[in-house]
């Protein structure tokens, strides 16, 4: 079983006094994602749900269309030692499954500092053929939105012990928690969540909403759109490009969902 928490000795300084104790840290390690015999990406992640992360990444980047293309996902053996698997996952495709391998050689819009202009980034999503969101549905009561942060925190097991993880949580319109994933990376947490649902053939997620534990940037909106998520809520602030993208694709975007209040940046018709 992958470890997600590491215990380390720490010196705490409080004013002029010092004390020693054991602190708990969220583990961060690299994961290589491979598609067949081709390396696609290396991401820093919290170990756990690695197959979901690999599937979710390939799906939200528009490389895979769905689970029907996947034959299996396996650990990649360490070179020279086939019995030992390292921090690498290989996604094997079914016979006849076609992917755009040239896309793998082009730049992904996965960094908020990538320097690509906003219009080009948004147009790229449209070219990827993201699912069309259902118009004005689902409809969610404001009181349900207010309950989401507490429901998320109650289920963040590793965060409660370390304080060092982001979370992405999937809810139904009544506020029932469907699934939660944690990771040191916001993008990884969302990819794990979406990957889990994609592998279960639950995508597009037209009847669900997602809550993010931090701020929401363009690339998180991009991933949500690829999964067909109509409502994206965040405890933190959205970026300007996140709002622009949500408006373009009719996604409901909520920010600062905490302490009994929230802002609606787009798609207000889905919130009552």
Query: Do residues 117 and 209 both lie within one domain?
Result: no
CATH value at residue 88: 3.10.20.10
Number of domains in the chain: 2
From 128, 152, 175, give the residue that closes a domain. 128
Same domain, 164 and 105: no
pLDDT by residue (tens digit) across 35-46? 998 899 999 999
pTM above 0.95, yes or no: no
Pair 208, 245 in one domain: yes
Host domain of residue 219: 142-270
In this prediction, residue 205 carries a pLDDT of 97
Residues 165 and 52 grouped into a single domain: no
Residues 6+ apart with CB under 8 A from 124: 109
Contacts of 211 (CB under 8 A, 6+ apart): 148, 149, 152, 168, 169, 171, 233, 234, 235, 257
pLDDT score recorded for residue 81: 60
Query: Is residue 219 within a helix (H) or strand (E), and if so which, with residue range?
Result: helix 218-226
Q: Check residue 156 and give its pLDDT.
A: 76
Instruction: State which of 71, 101, 128 marks the end of a domain.
Output: 128
Tokens of 69: 């293309």
Q: Which residues are catalytic?
A: 114
Note whether residue 1 is domain-resident: no
Give the integer Cα–Cα distance in Å for 170 and 157: 16
Tell me: do 120 and 173 sit in the same domain.
no
194 with 256, same domain: the answer is: yes
């Amino acid at each position: 079983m992958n470890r997600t928490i590491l215990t380390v000795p720490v010196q705490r300084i409080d004013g002029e006094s010092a004390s020693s104790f054991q602190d708990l840290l969220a583990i961060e390690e690299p994961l290589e994602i491979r598609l067949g015999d081709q390396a696609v990406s290396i991401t820093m992640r919290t170990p756990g749900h690695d197959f979901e992360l690999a599937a979710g990444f390939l799906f939200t980047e528009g490389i895979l269309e769905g689970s029907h293309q996947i034959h299996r996902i396996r650990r990649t053996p360490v070179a020279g030692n086939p019995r030992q698997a390292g921090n690498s996952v290989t996604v094997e495709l079914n016979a006849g499954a076609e992917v755009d391998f040239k896309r793998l050689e082009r730049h992904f819009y996965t960094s908020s500092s990538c320097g690509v202009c906003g219009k080009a980034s948004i147009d790229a999503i449209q070219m990827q053929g993201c699912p069309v969101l259902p118009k004005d549905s689902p409809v969610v009561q404001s009181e349900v939105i207010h309950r989401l942060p507490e429901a998320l925190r109650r289920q963040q097991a590793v965060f409660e012990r370390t304080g060092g993880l982001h979370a992405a949580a999937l809810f139904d319109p009544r506020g029932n928690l469907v699934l939660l994933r944690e990771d040191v990376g916001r993008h990884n947490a969302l990819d794990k969540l979406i990957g889990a649902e994609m592998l279960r053939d639950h995508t597009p997620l037209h009847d669900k909403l997602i809550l993010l534990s931090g701020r929401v940037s363009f690339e998180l909106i991009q991933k949500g759109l690829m999964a067909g998520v109509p409502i994206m809520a965040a405890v933190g602030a959205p970026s300007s490009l996140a709002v622009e993208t949500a408006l373009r694709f009719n996604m409901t975007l909520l920010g600062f969902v905490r302490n009994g209040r929230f802002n609606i940046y787009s798609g207000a018709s889905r919130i009552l």
